[in-house]
Chains A and B, each alone.
Chain A
Amino acid sequence: MAIINQATKELQVKIVYYGPAKSGKTTNLEQVHSNVQVPNAASKGKMTSLATSSDRTLFFDFFPLEAVAIKGFKTKFALFTVPGQVIYNATRQIVLRGVDGIVFVADSQYDKMEENIETFKHLEDNLKTLNLNIEEIPYVMQYNKRDLPEVAPVEYLDFLLNNRDVQVPSFEASASNCQGVFETLNMITRMLLHKFLNDGVRK
């Protein structure tokens, strides 16, 4: 959970990009890292990727990003991805520890629907293992790869993945072209701040 340091006036928040293999989680982070406007070089940390020799995420990708000060607090976001492959489910649990907000990156291609659903189920299960509940954590859906042929309509993706009492915000994206990437990130950060605000005094 977020860290508040009154002494140094810092708020640290953890956002995890979660989704099936090759859905574009790492690409999201790479695009934010390459394209985000920062007031100075120190605001953006180095991107660290623990990947296999074939560039598949083995443990996680990570980079720290500092935003404008909010009420005098320097706000630091730690952006993570998890490995998409099911065999690395244990490491997904480790990366989810202390998560504040989640971006679920779904692959919009028709033949990936089963993987999307299965991965979302794993997310819920992994959160339960950490005594967390998906309903209590701000999250958004990103329907990625909209630039490819054979993609499912957004309504269908919403029906499969976002069919709850309260629908969460969803974004169409083509992360490889940096489309929808910043919209997604800004929404999850906004939802996180809303959550702090609604909690008033955070428990």
Chain B
Amino acid sequence: MGQFPQLNQEDLDHFEAAMQELLAKSEAHVALLVEKAGYLIHQCGKPDSIDTTTFATLGSNAYNAVQFMAQLVNENNFTSMYQQGENFSTLMVNVDENSLLVIVFPTHLTVGSMKYYANPAARLLADRIQVASGRTPGQGLDLSDLDPTDVQTLFQKKETP
């Protein structure tokens, strides 16, 4: 399992362009790029009242659960996941080893059309992630001048009245 790369503004611009194009063509409401450990990487569209952080986490874990099911039946081709609702549906499409694309769309749109537009968008996202991975492999956040004792009580309990 590889490491999701660090991103710069150019990467985010590419994600934005690919996902906006997907939304424009498909008429979906929201597109989320999600790392499979549950992190929301980028979002586009009109999330309105959706808690996209939680949505991304639930989506990635549900997707991972389906991959687990696939392994149990020796199936390597569970590459997407679709849930139909009364008003909204969701489609989750694999992007690469570490990430997936989560789309929320009105139910009157068909899953077939959504897949038709989602697959090229997923490829564009995967290509850009590969560019980011190749740019500075292994480089991380340099905390070399950080004194950990400064952050030893990062979280504090509320004082009781």
Contacts and interface: CB of A to CB of B under 8 A. Distances in A.
Nearest to B54: A48
B3 interface: yes
B61 A190 contact: no
A12 B9 CA distance: 17
Interface of B: 1, 3-4, 6-9, 11-12, 35-39, 41, 51, 53-54, 57-58, 61, 64-65, 68, 138-144, 146, 148, 151-158
A182 to B, nearest CB: 5
Going nearest first, the 8 A-B pairs with the smallest beta carbon separation are A98-B37, A202-B140, A7-B9, A94-B64, A197-B143, A37-B156, A67-B154, A4-B6
B155 A130 contact: no
B142 A14 contact: no
Counting chain B CB atoms within 10 Å of each CB, the highest count among A45, A182, A201 belongs to A201
Contacts, number: 139
Interface string A118-148: 0000000000001100000000000000000
B142 A186 contact: no
Given A97-B37, A196-B143, A60 B6 contact: no
A67 B155 contact: yes
B37 A14 contact: yes
B155 A78 contact: no
B155 A186 contact: yes
A83 interface: no
Given A4-B6, A201-B138, A37 B53 contact: no
A162 interface: no
A186 to B, nearest CB: 5
A161 interface: no
Contacts of A12: 39
